[in-house]
Amino acid sequence: MAESILEDLNYKKSVGIITTHYMNLKVLADKTKGIINGSMAFDSKKLIPLFRLEVGKPGSSYTFVVAERSGLPPSVIHRARKKVQKNNLLLEELLNKVEHEKAEVARLIQVNSSQEKKLNELVNKYEKNVAHQEHKIEQNEERVRQKELRISKQLEDKFTRFVKDWKEAKNKKAVLDKYNTKLQARRNELSQKDLFKQEELIAYNRIHLKKGVMVKLKNGAVVGKVESVKDDKVVVIFGNVKTTSDLKSLMIEEKNRKIKRKKDTTSNQEGNNKD
């Protein structure tokens, strides 16, 4: 009778909401155009309604679950199960199973969405990092290219002047002497700069090289520890190897240098405050 009434209402294109526990109406709605199943979400573990409409899925009444948790005698529930048609009972169990699976799918979708978001963030970070590195490489290459162009232009200008002076000079030896003098002066200038840097390094090491300070050879990468300092000779332990080196051949490890600079600055400030 319920099916016939529902079919008649559907034929007349009636609009309405029909509430039911009849399984046959749920099946009819699923296979009939113009009728749509719906259900109110229900937490079967806590036995509380969630007040959320879910369209397209028939709901379960959770009759036996609610009865069991409400404290009804097992014998009463057992007799009730026997009275329910087998197909209806199977459908009820199927609906419960679908509900649990749907909740699990929703959880997995949420987990997947979170992981996808993290992955996208990592990809974006990686792409930005790659782009930044590529930009730095391009900048460095451009600086090197510009430097090479400047050096090339300077050499070209010097060579042009030399050729001009050579062609115009009657005394070719004087021209050679002139350019040799310039070349030697430039060599001496560079040597003086290197010497000045070396003297600075020695002076710095005389003040800061002490037992326990971490150092490395000027042209090396291995870090060692100072064991002792006497005059300009320093005994350093590199791993299991002990060696003696000159002050000019050692560089204080960068971390130690920063600490020393900080201490020196503090000392200078204290001295200024006293003044």
DSSP classification of residue 20: -
Residue 62: CB atoms within 10 Å:
18
Mean confidence (pLDDT) of the chain: 78
Global confidence as pTM: 0.31
The CATH number linked to 268 is 2.30.30
Do 18 and 100 lie in one domain? The reply is yes
**Structural domain contains residue 93:** yes
At 260 the pLDDT is 46
Do 15 and 107 lie in one domain? The reply is yes
Residue 64 has pLDDT above 70, yes or no: yes
Contacts of 229 (CB under 8 A, 6+ apart): 209, 210, 211, 235
**Structural domain contains residue 62:** yes
Chain segment 137-181, per-residue pLDDT in tens: 888 888 888 888 887 787 777 778 777 777 777 777 777 777 777
**Structural domain contains residue 161:** no
Q: Which of 70, 103, 118 is the last residue of a domain?
A: 118
Averaged pLDDT, 45-70:
81
Residue 210 has pLDDT above 60, yes or no: yes
Answer for the pair 225, 217: CB distance below 8 angstroms, yes or no: no
Q: Where are the beta strands (DSSP E) in the chain?
A: 38-43, 48-55, 214-217, 223-230, 233-238, 241-246, 250-252
Q: Which of 61, 90, 118 is the last residue of a domain?
A: 118
User: What is the domain count for the chain?
Assistant: 2
**Structural domain contains residue 151:** no
242: containing domain: 192-274
**Structural domain contains residue 160:** no
Concatenated DSSP letters for 203-267?
HHHHHH--TT-EEEETT---EEEEEEEETTEEEEEETTEEEEEEGGGEEE-HHHHHHHHHHHHHH
21 in helix, strand or coil?
Answer: coil
Answer for the pair 95, 60: CB distance below 8 angstroms, yes or no: yes
**Structural domain contains residue 171:** no
At 17 the pLDDT is 93
Q: Which of 66, 99, 118 is the last residue of a domain?
A: 118
**Structural domain contains residue 182:** no
Do 7 and 114 lie in one domain? The reply is yes
At 93 the pLDDT is 65
Do 108 and 198 lie in one domain? The reply is no
**Structural domain contains residue 70:** yes
